[in-house]
């Protein structure tokens, strides 16, 4: 039993700038499992951006192209439960042996291994065995390896051996295609202005995007309501209210540059002038606080810095907030702007 869901495949995983790298790497791995340098292939990104879908799609594609290979999809949570069970039953070696025989191992949501040293240890041994024998490992996680917490260093370094590919929030065009594709598959028609309205207003989560459309379809077919822009607005509002509105990194940079009366280019520039450096550090601090972006991604969006610079910025802001009254006031003022 591969545990793969055939409904999650490459055909219905729509391509866009936000997922092109991860999708192409997944395709390459599916063509030559274990035979590319993308081993492990680690797909990371926020909630509802398609990690599970893509992980299955790769597995399904491998089964299709290489029917002789054994493929196993499992969530990190289930893997952990199985492991704990095996320890209780004194079958730890069987557990390890079982996983070492697999050709393609797909583990979803490895952030679940955080703090679980027994599971990490057993996975480390399984991973080494598979990797040494040219078997393919595919992992997903909500964070990039550099941002993972409570995962042993030796395991993190293995995660970095292959390719880490990020799934980002889809851009507007991709959101529209995803909606159209969903409607097409369900055989439902919907006015273009409604689709555009939904795509414009739900930005950071594909699951919610689809959820809004499913609600619209249900309202129209079961409640016989006409799908109007008004109905779409009501439904979208429910989705947007239920999730914290995500402040974007662009927005944070804009607000902070306005606050310090400079422009965004200045904030991002390489200058070492103290007030500009501080504005930039505040932008990094608030990006970490209010977005789901990784440190690496924050750094690259705020003047092409690396993740260490962002980490340093966050610490500096924390320190200055405690020792410098004026700076504390900046933090409080800005916090108000982002926190509603
Ligand atoms: P994650 O595991 O990252 O939380 P999922 O893989 O569960 O996200 O995706 C959430 C929903 O969005 C699923 O129904 C999935 O099919 C859909 N989805 C995500 N990305 C895409 C895409 N690029 N094309 C089509 N559907 C997508
Ligand atoms: Mg998932």
Q: Which domains does the chain have, with CATH numbers?
A: 20-167 (3.40.50.300), 172-242 (1.10.8.60), 249-339 (1.10.1750.10)
Degrees to nearest 5, angle at CA 325 with 323 and 329? 125
Rg (CA), the chain: 23
Average the pLDDT over each of 41-55, 212-226, 235-249, 296-310 and give the range with the smallest value. Answer: 235-249
Phi, psi dihedrals of residue 313, rounded to the nearest 5° = -60, -45
Please report how the helices 76-88 and 92-100 are oriented relative to each other, as an axis angle in degrees rounded to 10.
Answer: 140
Candidate from 107, 109, 169, 206 with most ligand 1 atoms within 8 A of CB, to mutate: 206
Distances, alpha carbon 7 to alpha carbons 57, 208, 289, in Å: 8, 18, 36
- Give me ligand 1 centre to Cα 265, in Å: 34
Structure tokens at 242: 């239920």
Which pLDDT tens digit goes with each residue over 314-335?
999 999 999 999 999 999 999 9
Task: Name beta bridge partners: 140.
Answer: 43
Q: Is 138 helix (H, G, I), strand (E, B) or coil?
A: strand
71 vs 60: CA distance, rounded Å: 9
- What's the chain's average pLDDT? 94
Instruction: Tell me the pLDDT band of 266, cut-offs 50, 70 and 90.
Output: very high
Pocket lining for ligand 1, CB < 6 angstroms: 12-14, 19, 45, 47-53, 178, 206-207, 210
- Give me ligand 2 centre to Cα 140, in Å: 8
Structure tokens at 174: 């991709």
Task: Name beta bridge partners: 105.
Answer: 72, 137
Instruction: Decide if pLDDT at 26 tops 80.
Output: yes
Given this model, what pLDDT does residue 109 score? 97
Whether pTM exceeds 0.90 = no
**ipTM surpassing 0.90, yes or no?**
yes
Share of the chain above pLDDT 90, in %: 85
């Amino acid at each position: 039993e591969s545990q793969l869901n055939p409904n999650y495949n490459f055909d219905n995983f729509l391509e866009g700038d936000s997922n092109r790298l991860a999708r192409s790497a997944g395709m390459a791995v599916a063509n030559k499992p274990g035979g590319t340098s993308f081993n492990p292939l680690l797909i990371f990104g926020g909630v509802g951006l398609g990690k599970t879908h893509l992980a299955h799609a790769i597995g399904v594609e491998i089964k299709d192209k290489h029917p002789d290979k054994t493929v196993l999809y499992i969530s990190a949570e289930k893997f952990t439960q199985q492991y704990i069970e095996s320890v209780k039953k004194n079958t730890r070696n069987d557990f390890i042996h079982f996983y070492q025989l697999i050709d393609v191992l797909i583990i979803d949501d490895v952030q679940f291994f955080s703090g679980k040293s027994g599971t990490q240890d057993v996975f480390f041994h399984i991973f080494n065995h598979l990797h040494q024998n040219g078997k393919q490992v595919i992992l997903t996680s909500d964070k990039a390896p550099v941002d993972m917490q409570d995962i042993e260093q030796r395991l993190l370094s293995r995660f970095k051996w292959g390719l880490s590919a990020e799934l980002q929030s889809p851009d507007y065009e991709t959101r529209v295609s995803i909606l159209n594709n969903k409607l097409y598959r369900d055989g439902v028609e919907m006015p273009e202005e409604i689709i555009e309205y939904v795509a414009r207003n739900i930005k950071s989560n594909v699951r919610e995007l689809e959820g809004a459309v499913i609600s619209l379809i249900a309202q129209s077919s079961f409640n016989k309501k006409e799908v109007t822009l008004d109905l779409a607005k009501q439904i979208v509002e429910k989705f947007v209210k239920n999730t914290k509105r995500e402040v974007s990194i662009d927005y944070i940079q804009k607000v902070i540059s306005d606050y310090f009366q400079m422009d965004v280019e200045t904030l991002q520039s390489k200058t070492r002038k103290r007030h500009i450096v501080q504005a930039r550090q505040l932008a990094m601090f608030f990006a970490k606080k209010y977005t789901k972006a990784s440190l690496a991604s924050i750094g690259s969006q705020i003047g092409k810095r690396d993740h260490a610079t962002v980490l340093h910025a966050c610490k500096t802001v924390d320190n200055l907030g405690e020792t410098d009254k004026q700076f504390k006031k900046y933090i409080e003022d800005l916090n108000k702007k982002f926190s509603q």
